[in-house]
Structure formats: C-alpha cells, structure tokens
Structure 1
Amino acid sequence: MTEPTSVASAEAPAPTSPLLETRALTRHFKVGAGFSRRTLHAVDDVDLVINPREIVALVGESGSGKSTVARLLARVYKPTSGEIRYQGRSLGAVRGRRAQLAYRGDVPMVFQDPFSSLNPAYHVAHGILRGLRLHRPELNRAQRHAEAERVVEAVGLVPAAEILGRYPYELSGGQRQRIGFAQALAYRPKLILADEPVSMLDISIRIGLLNVMARLRETEGVSFLYITHDIASARYVSDRLLVMYGGHVVESGPTEAVLARPKHPYTELLLSAVPDPRAPLAVDAQAARSEPPAVIDPAPGCRFRARCPLAIDVCHSVTPRLRELGPAHTAACHVATADAPLAQSPAIPV
C-alpha cells in the first residue's frame, strides 16, 4: 500500500526545556514462586525526552516494553529504579491526591481498545462530563457541557450534541477511538500517552486518527507519546523515533534520519517488514529468525544477538549503550558506525 505524505513537522521543534524526561527508567516484575521465582526485565535504563508540541513515536514488536513505559509515565506502575521528571520536577516528589490528580490530568492515556475504555451502560457524554467534574472542578454544569461539545468537535465528530447522546455501541471503532482522544483532551493536557491507538482499526480509518493527533498538536499545543509496532505510521506522524527491543531503547533520533539511515540491525529488521507492493513475494531470511528476546533474568550482552546477522563476540558478553552516531541520532550497537547504514534497507514506499 502506498503511504501518504508525512504530517510530522517539516521543521524540528525549537530547543526548549523538556516537558517530560526519564533517566535510567527501569521496571522489573517478579514471576514464579518459591525456588523458581525469577525476575522479568520489562524495561531497563530507558532515557526518554519529550518536548512541548512534539510527537515522539516509541516503536517495537510485542513484548519490547513499550506499553510498560507508557504505564510507568501514567503512574500505573512504580519504577523499580530510575526517575521520571515532569516540567523539571521529579515525580517522586509529587505526593498527595490533588497533586497526583493534576498530573494525571496533564498526562492522560488513550488506550488500544476503544470499546473497553468506554462504559457501555452510559451515553458517550457520561465519561467526558465525569472527567471534567474530576479534573476541572471550576467549571459549572453549562460550561462542562459546552466543553464536552468543543472537544468532540475538535476530534472531528459532528454534530457534537448528537454524538454525545449516543451509546458506545452506536459508534464505529474509529468514532469510539476519537471519543477516547476527546476524553483526554477535555482535561487540557500537556502530553497524551497514546498506546497503540490505531492498531485495532481498519487501515482506511487509521490515517484519520493519525491526522487527529497531528491537528491536536497544532491547534491545542499537545505533545504525544505514540506507541506502536507500525513503523510506517510512526514515520507518518512523528517528529522523533525511539526503537525498543527487549526492554532497551536500541536506537533513537529524528524520524526521517533513523528511517533513511538506520544504525541498529533491529531497526533494519523492522524496516524490512514494511510491505512493499513492488517487491516479489518472498520470505526474508533475517525476518524469519524470530526468536524472542530473553528478558527473564537476562545474561549480559546485547538482547538482539540471537537474531542479529552481524553479531560478534563482544555482543555476547557486553550490553551495548546508546552512543551518538549522527546529529541527535543514537544507537546501542557494538557494530554500528557513524559512516554508513548497516545495510541497504528497502525504503518505506512513498
């Protein structure tokens, strides 16, 4: 399928203080019981920066740790170690119900399943108005209803009054997901955590939702962390790209730079999985090496080494760290160099 032109900002955002950043963010889970109790390393040492009015895509296959990062930022999970800083302040210092409620209003989450995030027993208006009462208590009844109509129109659903009077089952999947964005937008957020928001929708509907994200960034000044396994949609909407594998960020940088000159073999693998209608039908040998990463009590070394065609001895004993290989472009790979991409990857069709 031919990909549409990107809606990401043509110009890089001006340098500014980060809206949200993480430092060595780590989350481990205990699995098993008794003598078989082990540790699952869901997220390890993730450094992430999101600036105002920026869309950052966090890309990786299932089990890479993307959704765990989102839940850490939403404060659903507490970090095992590391730090999250929001507007320059550590979230460890954010205590008390009122302060935590204010943060959740500033950084709401849009979930993957647009139906399960809405209460089927109530009209669509119920969830938006309830959120407004909780996060914006200064509004009176008339103002809440006016704001509910405003945010529904902002996500492209009209007439707003009619939409608000419907039940969730009366809406399509794309309309329900737009309501999810409207609920988040009603809080006047600074950053929306969008966890696979288009993965359950038909391809023909996905572009409309991605355009909603881009439009809200421009009109409402909202930043997004867009979590996805679809590198093509990440290219379409994001300013910067972070690639995760086995709980680690293995590559990051401006989206076009990462996709034009990938430095990590895993990014190459993701690119090779993007369908190209011009290519003959064949099974890619590298893509067929689908051994999952070892994230339960992992040994030192690169977690991608079992699938990597370029692995060398040091990959089996030393965990690579992110290092700069281009302007704002980093990769965690012992083999990658700044001079050239690892291999000639098929470009995403345009």
Structure 2
Amino acid sequence: MNAQPTTAPGAEEPLLRTAALTRHFQIGGIFSKRTLHAVDDADLTIGRGEIVALAGESGSGKSTIARLLAMVYTPTSGEIFFEGRPLSRLRSRKDQLAYRSQAPMVFQDPFSSINPVYRISHGILRSLVLHRPELDAAQRTAEAERLLTVVGLTPAAAYMNKYPYEMSGGQRQRVGFAQALASNPKLIIADEPVSMLDVSIRIGLLNLMTELRDQAGVSFLYITHDLASARYAADRLVVMYAGTIVEHGPIEDILARPKHPYTQLLLATVPDPRAPLADLAGADRGEPPKVVDPRPGCRFRARCPVAVDECATVTPLLRDLGPRHLAACHVTQPDTAPGTTAPPQREHA
C-alpha cells in the first residue's frame, strides 16, 4: 500500500480522499483466468478549490481512477471518501445521485458527449431537471443561459438554440462544462478535456477551469498526458505509471525537481528546441509493462536507467523526499539528505 498519510487529527478533511483504491479486471477464458491490475493502492487527495492534475502515459490507470471516482466502476478494494463520507455506504439511488451531482464528469470527446439530435440547451435543462428539481421551467431557462455565459458562450440565448454541428469543438467542450456546472458541483472530473482540441483553443478551456476554481470554488481532477497544460492550470501533480501512483506533490516543485525516474522520462519527452538529437533518442528505454498478474517489485524497473537489485523484488512505497513531495523509488534520495544527489536532469523551459 502507498504510504500517504490519512488526514491528521484536527486538520481539515479534504474534499475527496482515496485510501488504497484498487480496481482489478478478470480477463482470459474459463481455464486461464488472469487479473489485470488497472489501479493498485492509489492514495490521493483533492482539496477544496484545488486543481489536481493526474498525468501518465496511456494505459497508466488515469481514466480508471476517473471512473472509480464517478462511481462508474466499483472498487475491487479500498475506499473513496467525499467530504469525509465513504462512497461505499451510498446504497440508495437517491444518495448516489446526490454524490454524482456534486462530482460530474467532463469527457474527452466534445463531438460525442452531446446528443447531436437535440439543441445544446437540451442537455443543460435536463441536468437541471434531474439535479435541481426546485427550479421551475422559467428558472431553468434563466439558469441555463447564465451557465452558458459563465463558460464564455455569449450571447447565451443564441447558443441555446444551436445544434452541436453548428458549433466548434471548443464551443462544444464549453457546453460540456456548462452541463457539469448545472448541478452546482463541488468537484469536476475532467478526463482529457482539451486533448482533442486545437492548441489555440486549449488555453481558453484551461483559463475556464482556473476561473471556476478561483471564482466559484470548484475543484478539479484534471486528467492529462500533457505536462505543459498541467503546469498552466494545476496546483498539484499526481503521476501514475502502470496502475500505481509513483510521485505527487506541488506541481512547480515536481517539474523543477522530479524525483521518480518515470517523471524524469515524461519531462524528457517535452519538446526542447535546445536539446541535441542524441539526448532525445536515449530518453526512453521501452514500452510500459502489461499489468496482468504483476510480480512484486517496481513496475518501472525494466525501463529505469538507475534500477538496482532491490527494484526487482521489493515494491517501492511513496515516501517523503521534500516538502509535501512524495515518490515511490528505492534509489532517489530526499533533497535534504547530506552527500546524496539525484540523477542528473536536463533543464527545461
């Protein structure tokens, strides 16, 4: 299990907290059952009014965590706490709906997350009917127009009558945020919300996220593989590899002083026009492992340039390597350890 501490006595309970969150999938036939370890012992927290970026390669378990937090998947083991209350105790449909209204998702593909048959007002109004039944028809229309204004679609009355095909990808993604905001959420789970948009449009969506954090106090779990966008919008960074959390902490600290060799690899893949081609060619040493019935040990060891014998037999736990900066690595040393140095890093812009 990862060694992230639980909430200290007297400390404020975070908005969302997971404890040893695990999700496995059974694969194979009747005579060859195997277990895919999509997420293992994930401990993370999201504070109130905070954007937490969850980064890693495809297949690292990021979207599985999103679906666990959205109650699309049921954990194999572990627990999710929302405002201190365990989600496993939400038995009734009413309680589950109340939670989902507080933690909606914004999906990756703006082209398929909105029903193309209806005008874009349909999804927002439907969400208001479902999650805010105290509003009458006129109030719902006014609230829908207000939400479109909040996400930057003005004049709102004109956008209410548009069909999805009449809007750009960025505008449709803003509609997705408006639908999520319709339930007055405290947390939005944003699964790669800008990855399918042009670079010129992404900055507007990232600004929208930071505005919602600063002005409305909405927290975000921002799932991404783009460390540049994470740096722009997020307060903290959580790095996943092969179903496990390998590093987390304040984003500026991690990007300036990455501790885990995998985080260093991710940073090495960020384009740097000053770097010679030889450096880029040697940045990666292979593909991520298949996490089917994994053995003990560090899952990154086959690609790691600093692996030692212990990495093959002992699974590393998250440990403090700096102020609020944790990493799961046998080799990397804390900032304050005398006479120790971390593996050399290339400077990035």
Q: Same fold (TM over 0.5)?
A: yes
Match of 2:344?
A: 344
Would the alpha carbon gap of residues 26 and 161 (structure 1) be closer, same or farther in structure 2, given more than 3 Å must change? same
Q: Match of 1:288?
A: 284
Aligned partner of 1:105: which letter? S
5+ residue gaps in structure 1?
1-14
Whole-angstrom CA distance in 2 between matches of 1:37 and 1:305? 26
Q: How does 1:79-118 map to 2 (within 5 A)?
A: 79-118=75-114
Q: Matches of 1:130 and 1:222 in 2, distance apart? A: 21
TM superposition score normalised by structure 1: 0.93
Instruction: Please name the residue that 1:172 is paired with.
Output: 168
Please name the residue that 1:9 is paired with. none
1:278 is aligned with what amino acid?
R
How high is the sequence identity, in percent, across the aligned residues?
Answer: 68
Deviations 1:131-151 (A, max 9, x none): 100000000001101110111
Structure 2 unmatched runs, 5+: 1-10
Q: Would you say 1:55 and 2:87 are equivalent positions?
A: no
One of 220, 230, 235 as aligned partner of 2:231: 235
Whole-angstrom distance in 2 between the partners of 1:37 and 1:321: 28
Q: TM-score, normalised by structure 2?
A: 0.94
Superposition deviation, residue 347 in structure 1 = 3.7
Matches of 1:68 and 1:165, distance apart in 2 = 35
8 Å contact 1:73–1:84 — kept in the other structure? yes
| Residue 307 (structure 2) pairs with residue 311 (structure 1) | yes
1:294 Cα shift?
Answer: 2.9
- Residue from 331, 335, 345 that aligns with 1:335: 331
Task: List, as ranges, runs of 4+ consecutive aligned residues in structure 1 with deviation greater than 6 Å.
Answer: none
Query: Is residue 207 from structure 1 mapped to residue 203 from structure 2 by the alignment?
Result: yes
Q: Is the 8 A contact 2:265 2:284 kept in 1?
A: no
Aligned residues: 335
- Aligned partner of 2:60 in structure 1 is 64
* Contact 2:102/2:185 (8 A) holds in 1: yes
Could you give the per-residue CA deviations for residues 199-245 of structure 1, whole angstroms, max 9, x where no partner exists? Answer: 00111111111000000111111000000011111111100000000
CA–CA distance in structure 2, aligned partners of residues 230 and 44 of structure 1: 23
Q: Match for residue 5 of structure 2?
A: none
Is residue 108–residue 189 contact of structure 1 (8 Å, CA) maintained in 2?
A: yes
SS in 1 for 2:48: coil
- Report the counterpart of residue 36 of structure 1 in structure 2: 32
CA RMSD of aligned residues (A): 1.2
> What residue number does 1:253 align with?
249
Report if aligned partners of 1:286, 1:309 keep a CA contact under 8 Å in 2. no
In the TM superposition, residue 346 of structure 1 has moved relative to its aligned partner by 3.1
